[in-house]
Homo-oligomer: A and B are copies of this chain.
């Protein structure tokens, strides 16, 4: 452990106020330069769910443990995180973790049923049940996440930032209320529409908890964080503004200054102006919008991340290359673009295609960056 800490100090120091100080290698990394909209030698790329099920190295680890055991084992979570960064050659690592375990210490009884995804045994069905949903005062119960962060940061190349992440308040609230995936979010919206007080209590507790949880990830060694509002696309702009935006903004404003936040939402391009309003130095775009239009909508004074349709990775390499080029071309060579898919990579995708995509973007992005 002494060695771990000694090695970590080489990369990251802390000021007395707790703000994260970056080593020059990280400060000048492609990813963080792009997040600050500085010119880079080529376009940085990472892939949402890059350590996921499509990768044989991941499946090999996963064959020995359950999904949640993997999430809760700092050593294994670190291993799959590091392996994915190394085999793909991407410009950032993202902590292998899941959105939902942070709900457990808040009072949610969570189970990962075999082959069925997460199941919540005590969803918040009525407004009165919001009371048993506790704020996360002490993040100690999430120590396995912070331990994974420390292990990853220790072994990650010095110029590769580590991203932390969490679900945005709406997506977490939806899970807690629906008890799992949902097609129409009937329970979530019903609570939102019929008991605004209960809804705001729930979102407030989530927002405060998220600030603590995310800042502890940063303290442990993350250089940037991504908020995933994977389900907020089901909302109308008016509902997002009224019931969601204040809490996402509260989270982003509570995150330690100087740490870039990627604010990502999928499923509704009409929410992009509001996503920008909620904050984040980087706005994550899904593939439903043309990147040039999306960037214009959120404003050229923020960086953007995205936005190749993930199914592009099922195509032959020339087609994949043409589609990746379309995304790069849509930037107009403007600095401040982080290449990614518009959503997570699928288990069905050939790993060789993901590796090829990373190489293509690094090669073609060189020209884009020099424009």
Known: A186-B311, A268-B269. A290 touches B193 (CB 8 A): no
A346 near B238: Cβ-Cβ < 8 Å: no
Does A239 make an interface contact (CB < 8 A)? yes
- Inter-chain contacts of A190 with B (CB < 8 A): 311, 314-315
- Inter-chain contacts of A289 with B (CB < 8 A): 236-237, 270
Does A312 make an interface contact (CB < 8 A)? yes
- Minimum CB–CB distance for A363 against chain B, Å: 21
B316 near A239: Cβ-Cβ < 8 Å: no
Chain B residue with the shortest CB-CB distance to A188 = B311
Most buried by B among A233, A237, A239, A268: A268
Most buried by B among A269, A312, A342: A269
CB < 8 Å neighbour of A186 from B194, B234, B290, B346 = B346
- Minimum CB–CB distance for A160 against chain B, Å: 29
CB < 8 Å neighbour of A309 from B189, B270, B309 = B189
- Minimum CB–CB distance for A32 against chain B, Å: 28
Does A348 make an interface contact (CB < 8 A)? yes
- Inter-chain contacts of A312 with B (CB < 8 A): 193
Complex alpha-carbon distance, A147 and B183, angstroms:
34
- Minimum CB–CB distance for A274 against chain B, Å: 11
Complex alpha-carbon distance, A287 and B185, angstroms:
13
- Minimum CB–CB distance for A229 against chain B, Å: 14
Known: A269-B269, A288-B270. A236 touches B311 (CB 8 A): no
B309 near A293: Cβ-Cβ < 8 Å: no
Cβ contacts A276-314/B at 8 Å (1 or 0 each): 000000000001111001000000000000000111101
- Minimum CB–CB distance for A348 against chain B, Å: 6
- Inter-chain contacts of A235 with B (CB < 8 A): 288
- Inter-chain contacts of A315 with B (CB < 8 A): 190, 193-194
- Inter-chain contacts of A271 with B (CB < 8 A): 288
Known: A312-B193, A316-B194, A319-B193. A238 touches B290 (CB 8 A): yes
- Inter-chain contacts of A293 with B (CB < 8 A): 237, 270
Does A16 make an interface contact (CB < 8 A)? no
B314 near A193: Cβ-Cβ < 8 Å: yes
B184 near A310: Cβ-Cβ < 8 Å: yes
Chain B residue with the shortest CB-CB distance to A181 = B183
- Inter-chain contacts of A323 with B (CB < 8 A): 193
Does A44 make an interface contact (CB < 8 A)? no
B319 near A288: Cβ-Cβ < 8 Å: no
Closest 7 pairs (CB-CB, A-B): A269-B270, A189-B311, A193-B315, A190-B314, A270-B289, A268-B288, A236-B287
A-B contact pairs, 13 of them (CB 8 A): A184-B310, A186-B314, A186-B346, A190-B314, A190-B315, A193-B312, A193-B314, A234-B288, A236-B309, A237-B293, A269-B269, A269-B270, A270-B293
